[in-house]
Amino acid sequence: MLALKKKKLNSKDSKRKLVTAIDPKSPISEQYRTIRTNIQYSSVDKEIKAIMVTSSGPEEGKSTTAANLAVTFAQLGQKVLLVDADLRKPTVHHTFGLNNLFGFTSVLTKQRTLEKTVLETEEKDLYILTSGPIPPNPAELLSSKSMEQFIEEAKSQFEYIIFDTPPLLAVADPQIIANQVDGSILVVYSEKTIIDQAKKSKELLEHAQGKLLGVVLNHKEIQNGDYYYYYGAK
């Protein structure tokens, strides 16, 4: 069994961030489903199961995007694991109202098994692996043999694994993960993300031999209509 305890998505933070769970019929939720479809058809040669979501800098919407993508995949009846791989400033446990006593780092350091650490959410088929205790050496931990073993084990138990990672230009962690997953999503914030920084992020992913599945444009204003923001992919 891969579940410990259900948690309700009832905080204000969850309502703000998890639109796909709270309001699945909204235009924003539809955009997330479009991104999901684009990911599913992004490769004909290799199955896309492990996906990294990142951004150039902080507060550009990568964690919100990762969480909502995880929800949309779970809504297909696919077993999904959302991993908080931001081992410096983790936020997934806040979004889902979870305890972060044990998590990803606990599994990587062999202190706990994946089965005993993963948490079930109120959303059917969506499971969470919080970051766990913040380690002194995140990059070394992510590039260890344990990380390879973790991805193999997770793939054997879940249809999709989505990694929420730190910003690309801040630390080396996303480049390390990009080399190990099946594809990456780069989130850019409309009229905030600097073009040169987005280009640099793309170059870093390429240098890490990571596959860029696409770019998500976040917080784009709609001129006409009742909804002011949408998320899209290109």
pLDDT for position 218: 80
pLDDT at residue 2 greater than cutoff 50: no
Spans of all domains in the chain: 12-233
pLDDT for position 223: 56
Q: Please give the C-alpha separations between residue 81 and each of 63, 85, 124, 170, 231, in angstroms, as whole numbers.
A: 14, 12, 12, 25, 22
Q: What is the mean pLDDT of residues 218-225?
A: 62
- Give the 3-state DSSP-derived string for 103-171, with helices as H, strands as E and coil as C: CHHHHHCCCCCHHHHCEECCCCCEEEECCCCCCCCHHHHHCCHHHHHHHHHHHHHCCEEEEECCCCCCC
Nearest Cα to Cα of residue 65 among 36, 38, 88: 36
Helix axes of 27-40 and 62-74: crossing angle, nearest 10 degrees: 80
pLDDT for position 189: 87
Rounded to the nearest integer, the mean pLDDT of the chain is 87
Span 12-233: which CATH code? 3.40.50.300
The dihedral sign for the CA sequence 103, 201, 51, 23? positive
pLDDT for position 205: 92
pLDDT in tens, 138-168: 999 999 999 999 999 999 999 999 999 999 9
Question: Scanning the structure block, which residue is given the tokens 């991993």?
Answer: 83
pLDDT in tens, 11-46: 445 545 799 999 998 898 999 999 999 988 887 777
Q: Which two tokens stand for residue 187?
A: 């989130």
Least confident of 5-9, 43-47, 118-122, 156-160: 5-9
* The model's pTM: 0.87
pLDDT for position 224: 52
Quickly list DSSP for 171-201.
-SHHHHHHTTSSEEEEEEETTTS-HHHHHHH
pLDDT at residue 200 greater than cutoff 70: yes
pLDDT at residue 70 greater than cutoff 60: yes
pLDDT for position 14: 52
Q: What is the mean pLDDT of residues 168-188?
A: 94
